Structure 1
Amino acid sequence: MASRSRTRSRPHGERRSGDFRGAGPAYVVRRPGGRGPMEAAAARVGGSPATPADRSAGRRARTDRPPRGGQVPVTRRPDIRPPAPGKRRLPTDSRNGDRHSRRVRPHAGPRSGRCRLHHRGPRRDRLRNEDRGRGGPCAGPGGMRRAGNGAVTAARGRLTGLLPPSGPARIFSYAVLIDSLGTGLYVVLAPLYLTSRIGLSAGDVGVGLGIAGLVGLLSAVPVGKLADRRGSRKTLLLMYGVQAVSAGAVPFVASLAAFTVIACVGALAAQGARSAQGALIAEIGGEQRVRYRSQLTALSNAAVAIGSALAGLVINADSRAAFVMALLVNALSFAAAAGVQLLTAPGTPERRAAAGGRGIENTARPVLRDFPYIALTMVHGVLSVSLQVISLGLPLWIYRTGAGPAWLASVILTLNTVVIVLFQVRVSRSASSLSTAGRLLRHAGLLFLLGCSLPALTSRGRFDAALLLAAALVVTVGELLATAGGFEVSMTLAPEGCQGQYQGFFNLGYGASKALGPVLVTFLCIDHGPAGWAVLGVALCSPALAAPALVRRAERARVTPRRESSDPPCGRARS
């Protein structure tokens, strides 16, 4: 009696003896005497087994002489069934313990519909999350999705996609989240605390904040140069420290002069922190710095909204102790953000992102002599006035004219925040080049013109609320385009090693719009009615039409041979 041979393990991709044409990987099955199924069957009918050449060609083993009843082909074992045509067997996944399989095209390529769980490399986790979100083959055991959880899982996957990749980028995003959470508390509670608890008038608070906003612009470029010379991370930690001290002193002010001084110090540190953050984003983000900055913007807006909601709980408490504790939490948020920054490896060298990564060789020249960049900064600053249309113009128009219910102002602000959080990163992907960024800025201006024209059509009619919501949505989409185009222009046109001062100067446009925008919007839209809305739309659209030409001029100015020099760029000290 022939001895039974042991069944050996089969490496992935090996075929069993006498396998059929088109079969996928299968296990090697040994027969008594060490023969395969086809050899054993051929021996039973008295023939010779098929040769390896025959088996590789997919031919069956044939007999030397036909038995009684005619020639009978050799059959396979009935318990070994081949997979269906066009269906492959995939290895078992050790994470959920089931075998995944999908019908695919024969000889399919990478887009064959293969089970996404078995992709290797950095795409695996993202693809697995996508499959789980839409009920793909890797959604769970047996490739089935749990009923009722599809929408929740999809939303969770989209929100998870807002987070940058792990490492320094993820750590810096945590610091931005903490900082923005405290900012949401401060912007809501500080004016109320100063007017209701300290006794300052609303006009005094407005004057102090206005002066602080203008003074803060003075620190943008100098702090940016400091970031280029000494390092953006160290500069940012310094600015966080100054902000923590100034914010911690706000609950203890007793006069307008003291509040104005503290607000000016805080504004100087805040504007300097934006300059250092811009340089640090360029260093951490590398070639993906525009996408990274868009992710941080979306996360920052979400955190500010959460902080504003928490401020409502403090207002509901209606006690001085609650106000003081909340304002001190804002001060602690800067210290916590600085502590998170310290978690990054101190020995890791700071990467200087090459701004010429898309084929542009930049010359290191001071930003104050870069006239195309100055013009684009002014264009983006004008477009940034649209933020005041959402936060100030439309709510005041609703209260002043009665064009809609009072709660519509809250709906508009919520709509703006949600759209920016969900779609800012996606829209920023379209800003893949400088020419595209110029077109985005132009399209944003046209959308602002349309958005500012819609409130002028309201006249206490049936469709006024719909018109105002449409205006808010159009202006929000324009804001998405303007932000994406501004990120691409500000970072790509900045020379290597000069990101600090260039980002600081570009932020001057946003700072000026934040300081002067409320006055402009109130004067035109509220005091002059529909005609003022039309004038504001034209004022926002006109500079944006020149953005593509300005971007082309700036790009031509930088496509020049790099000048070799022993001097460090932008006055940075030699290492």
Structure 2
Amino acid sequence: MSRTSLVGTPQRRIMMGVLLVDTIAAGAFYPLTFLYLRLGTDLPVTRIGLVLTGGGLVALLLNPLAGSIADRWGAQRTIVAANACCGVGYLGLVDIHGWPQLVVAVAFITLSQRLYWVGWPVFVAEQAAEGETLDHWFAVVNAFKSGALGLGAALAAVALSVGDVGTLRAILLCAVAASFLSAVVFARLRPAPSSPGKDGADEGSGDGAGASDAAGAGWRAVLRDRPYTAMTAAHTALTFAWLLPGVALPVYLVDALDLPPWVPSAAFAMNTVLPVLFQTTVSRALVPLRRTRAVLIGAGFFVLAFALFAGAHDAPPAFALLCTAAGMVLFSLGEMSAGPAAQALSMDAAPVPLRGRYSSVFQTSWTVSNVAGPAVVGALLGWNGLALWLVLGLLVGAGGLGFVACEKRFPARVLRTGPNGGDR
């Protein structure tokens, strides 16, 4: 398959274009939500924090609902609903008149995120035509989204350097417009044609029956799929690695290492640029391996990165900067190795009629780390900076080994990264 085949049709070019606009808008405003609410409202900071944290906890309860919606409505309609809910939620933040309005707006944003992250992998899986691997799809889409998020964050930084609350509100209005535009365009896309090559995925991960049996069993089939739930548990441990760029590293670099405040921003910029440049190259290099082994390699890169960050502790500033740069390269390699392989495995291991429910179970791993992660990172940093990297390394290492431990329970077709891959 050629590198440009994912945008080889007008439908796909439109899809990727809308993804670009929507993701740039999300990258520009979402990281600034708390700052906007603190500067643009009279609400106490503690109450804002409680509402936003409560939204994260509610997300755990909304995952099953999002999975059922994706199976019943289809992935395309689920993404349309996600973008529409996001637009409504962001619109509710434009002019806030009290905390009840904030609660409602955050509820819509939280629901939109669950619908989006459950529906998006299913939508990508439906777009892959016969002969195209999910690994390549997820690799290209992830690189695309990484670059768009980085561009959005850069635009926001530039805007904030010359603006104030009014600038934040303008960015928010752009995000509102992008969300509604995405909903309209996605609603007008033609559904992806069913591919004969997709029928094999109806078998599930190994313990389930055929597609009709799976559809009838619903959530019972998902919860009885022990290989899949074990893989999700391993992925939950692995997702704690992704706390590094936005949660763990900024505080560690500035507070523990006493580096200048621009260093975390530079590290984040590296993390967004490297996948754009090298994601497809890394994915092609991993084709001969089983997906579980690709995830293990990614976990190994993560652990090496954590070791470098730990080595920067109490080191001279120049050496700490060198460790930070090398650590971000290794961390990005970990993302590029483990991310697409784990996502592709999660979709190929799911029966097609239940992909929404299976996706919601798999996405729960991200919700757990996003909710628990900041508290874990804060507690460990408050105790001992080196303890943070030890605990994260143990979690991520266990996650990578957990994927390998599950591989004997999955059919060979699920473990392959391509027609001739997955032999090692």
TM-score by length of 2: 0.85
Decide whether aligned partners of structure 1 residues 279 and 255 sit closer, same or farther in structure 2, where only a CA change above 3 A counts: same
Q: What code does the residue aligned with 1:171 have?
A: I
**CA offset at residue 539 of structure 1?**
2.1
Bigger relative contact order, structure 1 or 2, given CA contacts below 8 A and separation 6+?
2
Decide whether aligned partners of structure 1 residues 196 and 544 sit closer, same or farther in structure 2, where only a CA change above 3 A counts: same
C-alpha distance in 2 between matches for 1:239 and 1:534: 37
Q: Which residue of 1 aligns with 2:156?
A: 311
Q: Which residue of 2 aligns with 1:265?
A: 108
**CA offset at residue 403 of structure 1?**
4.9
**CA offset at residue 267 of structure 1?**
0.8
Which among 285, 292, 311 is matched to residue 438 of structure 1?
A: 292
Aligned: 1:414 with 2:269: yes
1:531-542 alignment, distance < 5 Å: 531-542=387-398
Which among 290, 302, 315 is matched to residue 147 of structure 2?
A: 302
Q: Which residue of 2 aligns with 1:5?
A: none
**CA offset at residue 413 of structure 1?**
0.7
What per-residue deviation string (whole Å, max 9, x for no partner) do you get for residues 86-106 of structure 1? xxxxxxxxxxxxxxxxxxxxx
1:35-184 alignment, distance < 5 Å: 161=4, 164-184=7-27
Decide whether aligned partners of structure 1 residues 164 and 522 sit closer, same or farther in structure 2, where only a CA change above 3 A counts: farther
Structure 1, unmatched stretches of 5+, are 1-121, 127-160, 560-575
Q: What code does the residue aligned with 1:398 have?
A: L
Contact 1:162 1:299 in 2 (8 A): no
Q: Which residue of 1 aligns with 2:35?
A: 192
Q: Which residue of 1 aligns with 2:238?
A: 383
Q: Which residue of 2 aligns with 1:553?
A: 409
Query: Secondary structure of the residue that 2:352 maps to in structure 1?
Result: coil
Aligned: 1:250 with 2:93: yes
Decide whether aligned partners of structure 1 residues 333 and 541 sit closer, same or farther in structure 2, where only a CA change above 3 A counts: same
Which among 350, 368, 393 is matched to residue 248 of structure 2?
A: 393
Contact 1:294 1:424 in 2 (8 A): yes
**CA offset at residue 284 of structure 1?**
0.9
1:141-540 alignment, distance < 5 Å: 161=4, 164-286=7-129, 287-345=132-190, 349=193, 354=198, 356=200, 363=209, 364=211, 365=214, 366-430=221-285, 432=287, 436-457=290-311, 458-461=313-316, 462-540=318-396
Q: What code does the residue aligned with 1:429 have?
A: R
* Seq. identity, %: 25
Contact 1:193 1:323 in 2 (8 A): yes
What per-residue deviation string (whole Å, max 9, x for no partner) do you get for residues 292-317 of structure 1? 12211111111111111221243234
Q: What code does the residue aligned with 1:466 have?
A: L
Decide whether aligned partners of structure 1 residues 312 and 405 sit closer, same or farther in structure 2, where only a CA change above 3 A counts: closer
Query: Secondary structure of the residue that 1:463 maps to in structure 2?
Result: helix
Moved more, 361-370 or 231-240: 361-370
Decide whether aligned partners of structure 1 residues 533 and 171 sit closer, same or farther in structure 2, where only a CA change above 3 A counts: same
Q: Which residue of 1 aligns with 2:420?
A: none
**CA offset at residue 359 of structure 1?**
10
**CA offset at residue 556 of structure 1?**
7.5
C-alpha distance in 2 between matches for 1:225 and 1:454: 42
C-alpha distance in 2 between matches for 1:217 and 1:501: 14
**CA offset at residue 373 of structure 1?**
0.7
Contact 2:230 2:406 in 1 (8 A): yes
Cα RMSD (Å): 2.9
Contact 1:274 1:507 in 2 (8 A): yes
What per-residue deviation string (whole Å, max 9, x for no partner) do you get for residues 498-530 of structure 1? 222222221111222222222222222353221
C-alpha distance in 2 between matches for 1:248 and 1:541: 41
Q: What code does the residue aligned with 2:24 have?
A: L
Contact 1:164 1:292 in 2 (8 A): no
Write out the 4+ residue segments of structure 1 that deviate beyond 6 Å after TM superposition: 357-362, 556-559
**CA offset at residue 212 of structure 1?**
0.8
Decide whether aligned partners of structure 1 residues 270 and 543 sit closer, same or farther in structure 2, where only a CA change above 3 A counts: closer
Decide whether aligned partners of structure 1 residues 524 and 202 sit closer, same or farther in structure 2, where only a CA change above 3 A counts: same
C-alpha distance in 2 between matches for 1:485 and 1:358: 19
TM-score by length of 1: 0.64
**CA offset at residue 200 of structure 1?**
3.4
Decide whether aligned partners of structure 1 residues 170 and 497 sit closer, same or farther in structure 2, where only a CA change above 3 A counts: farther
**CA offset at residue 424 of structure 1?**
2.1
Contact 1:162 1:295 in 2 (8 A): no
Give the total of aligned pairs: 400
Contact 1:248 1:331 in 2 (8 A): yes
Contact 1:221 1:504 in 2 (8 A): yes
Moved more, 362-371 or 288-297: 362-371
Decide whether aligned partners of structure 1 residues 518 and 355 sit closer, same or farther in structure 2, where only a CA change above 3 A counts: farther
Structure 2, unmatched stretches of 5+, are 215-220, 416-424
Query: Secondary structure of the residue that 2:155 maps to in structure 1?
Result: helix
Contact 2:75 2:122 in 1 (8 A): yes
Decide whether aligned partners of structure 1 residues 163 and 207 sit closer, same or farther in structure 2, where only a CA change above 3 A counts: farther
Q: What code does the residue aligned with 2:252 have?
A: W
In our comparison, the structure showing a higher alpha carbon Rg is 1
Contact 1:490 1:503 in 2 (8 A): yes
**CA offset at residue 483 of structure 1?**
0.1
**CA offset at residue 427 of structure 1?**
2.4
